[in-house]
Chain A
Amino acid sequence: AVRSLRRRLPKKTNELPQPNKLPGIFDDIHGSHGRQVCRRHELYVSFQDLGWLDWVIAPQGYSAYYCEGECSFPLDSCMNATNHAIVQSLVHLMKPDAVPKACCAPTKLSATSVLYYDSSNNVILRKHRNMVVKACGCH
């Protein structure tokens, strides 16, 4: 059985985690038990609301995306995570005190830039790498 199974395995077995999609009409955000699945959330910091747009030239605000939600893998669900996260979740069910649950965390990050004045009226453009969460997944 092992031999025949090996033949059917795809060549690429160490795929990176599939990021969770942003919620759409077919997404089961709250899962089957009222719990929210791992997904991307937004905490918007408005430079306009802070009254900072006289010295922050761009952007008008910053979308601090973060990942939040449950990383549970019922056996009949579509497993949107690494094999490691699935195994960790199963082991957590068996030994909850010894093994923590898989974490909902960023799987893809990108940079962001801010343009502002300093106290000498020089203009500063600062780039922050790996700052914006583009996608979340279970690790």
Chain B
Amino acid sequence: GSSPSPRPAAGCPQRRLGPRERRDLQREILAVLGLPGRPRLRAPPAAARLPASAPLFMLDLYHAMAGDDDEDGGPRERGLGRADLVMSFVNMVELDRALGHQEPHWKEFRFDLTQIPAGETVTAAEFRIYKLPSTHPLNRTLHVSVFEVVREQANRESDLFFLDLQTLRAEDEGWLVLDVTAASDRWLSNRNEDLGLRLYVETEDGRSVDPGLAGLLGRRAPRSKQPFMVTFFRESPNPTRVPR
């Protein structure tokens, strides 16, 4: 006949969920989203933290990514490339050798990378530091270079590994983005060897400049202009899932 059979569906079980099952299902969905529970935050509520530089940058990234999400993903993806996970790292420790006339001047930045989940591959990493216009040195070209601290030595300079160099004018203002992918990659494979990043500023004739005097802002800067690191990860093809 033209009407469907009155027999119950044999293939797909369909039933309403009870309130407890519904709650369990919500927990499962959150776990799938990587939100298994509330973290133990070490800082004041989000309202006080939101104007900080890293969350603001990440929120911009989220809006860009949300636009991509609506478009099925795949080859049309923009901006974030192949990244599944983006983490920003707050600068935990800042060391300075900019006091007095001792040269060369440098600034060192350290980050807590212990929270990176297993099974991720680094696709890119950036160190972002804000630069204000500087009148010292006046009308000069500056070279800003960043190094990974590979080994600390007791009685001499630390061993460094060159990562990136940017050339700019002393009067320039804005976010300076330095490529630190190589260091992030190494830190991910050897998590105990995270000794930080070291920043040098030089004039064209090779004279060392105090990064602070060159206009580069550190931890004492306004929250929206503090330096941070952002790392882009790609999930491994076969992520290990906890049985649930």
Interface residues in chain A, defined as those with a beta carbon under 8 Å from any beta carbon in chain B: 32-33, 43, 45, 52-59, 62, 64, 68-76, 92-93, 96-97, 100-104, 108, 110-132
Contacts of B112 in A (CB 8 A): 120, 122
In the assembled complex, 8 residue pairs joining A and B whose CB atoms fall closer than 8 Å, in A order, are A43-B25, A100-B12, A110-B72, A119-B42, A120-B115, A121-B41, A123-B55, A125-B62
Q: Please tell me which one of the listed residues B35, B40, B45, B66 contacts residue A116 in the complex, with CB atoms under 8 A apart.
A: B35
Instruction: Give me 9 other A-B pairs in contact (C-beta within 8 A), A52-B35, A69-B14, A111-B72 excluded.
Output: A54-B46, A64-B26, A92-B11, A100-B10, A110-B70, A114-B34, A121-B42, A122-B54, A131-B32
Number of inter-chain CB pairs below 8 Å = 157
With contacts A110-B70, A110-B72 taken as known, whether A117 is within 8 angstroms of B41 at the C-beta atoms is yes
Please, how many residues of chain B have a CB less than 8 angstroms from a CB on the other chain?
55
Nearest A residue to B65 via CB reads A113
| Max count, chain B CB within 10 A of own CB: residue among A43, A113, A132 | A113
Question: Are A121 and B49 within 8 A (Cβ)?
Answer: yes
Question: Are B9 and A101 within 8 A (Cβ)?
Answer: yes
* In the assembled complex, B178 has its CB within 8 A of some CB on chain A: no
Contacts of A129 in B (CB 8 A): 73, 84
| Docked pose: A75 CA to B5 CA in angstroms | 12
| Docked pose: A73 CA to B72 CA in angstroms | 29
Question: Are A121 and B90 within 8 A (Cβ)?
Answer: yes
Question: Are B9 and A70 within 8 A (Cβ)?
Answer: yes
| Docked pose: A130 CA to B127 CA in angstroms | 31
* In the assembled complex, B98 has its CB within 8 A of some CB on chain A: no
With contacts A54-B45, A125-B86 taken as known, whether A76 is within 8 angstroms of B2 at the C-beta atoms is yes
